[in-house]
Amino acid sequence: MKQHVEIIYDEVDENQAYESLISKVISECFKNEKMEKLKLYVSITLTCPSKIKEINKEYRDIDKETDVLSFPMFEKEELEKMIKEGYEIDEALGDIVISIDRVKQQAEEYGHSFERELSYMCVHGFFHLMGYDHIKDEDKVIMRAKEDEVLNKLSITR
């Protein structure tokens, strides 16, 4: 199976369980979008609250902590063309930054496992990289359906 993810630790201890779960989830995202044969990959940084707050302030001018940030490299139309034509360049689809502490808090708050919350953050970030959003209700419905499809295929439920 092609590795579609690069994991970076920033003020978070390395964790093989995180890596295994993230790799499985991102691979399923690529498969779901019919991109598994492309040489694209996702860079995921696992970090702490202070670092994600700093990144959020620097790139979005929002001075607060968040759970996940996504930084796409391509526009949605570019990606559609790349998928259709079979993109052959080994390149980042984009970057996702996840606050591990926030994942732990939200898992507890929502009453499900840490694994489910981390998986959701990965899927959510991935679909932002793919050009999906949830600002408008009609877009949110489409994005949530795609997220649920991937998580359900992996039997990762609430």
Return the domain boundaries, the chain: 5-153
pTM, 2 dp: 0.94
Residue numbers in the chain where pLDDT is lower than 70:
1-2
Given this model, what pLDDT does residue 52 score?
Answer: 98
Given this model, what pLDDT does residue 69 score?
Answer: 97
Q: Report the alpha-carbon distance of residue 158 to residue 152 in Å, rounded.
A: 10
Residue 144 near residue 134 (C-beta atoms within 8 A): yes
**Chain centre distance of CA 140:** 16
Beta-ladder partners of 94: 42, 72
Q: φ, ψ for residue 156 (rounded to 5)?
A: -105, 100
Given this model, what pLDDT does residue 82 score?
Answer: 87
Beta-ladder partners of 72: 94
Structure tokens given for 139: 């877009």
Given this model, what pLDDT does residue 2 score?
Answer: 58
Taking alpha carbons only, the member of 5, 117, 101 closest to residue 47 is: 101
Helix, strand or coil for residue 132? Answer: coil
Given this model, what pLDDT does residue 1 score?
Answer: 44
Which residue has 């994005």 as its token pair?
143
What number does CATH give the domain 5-153? Answer: 3.40.390.30
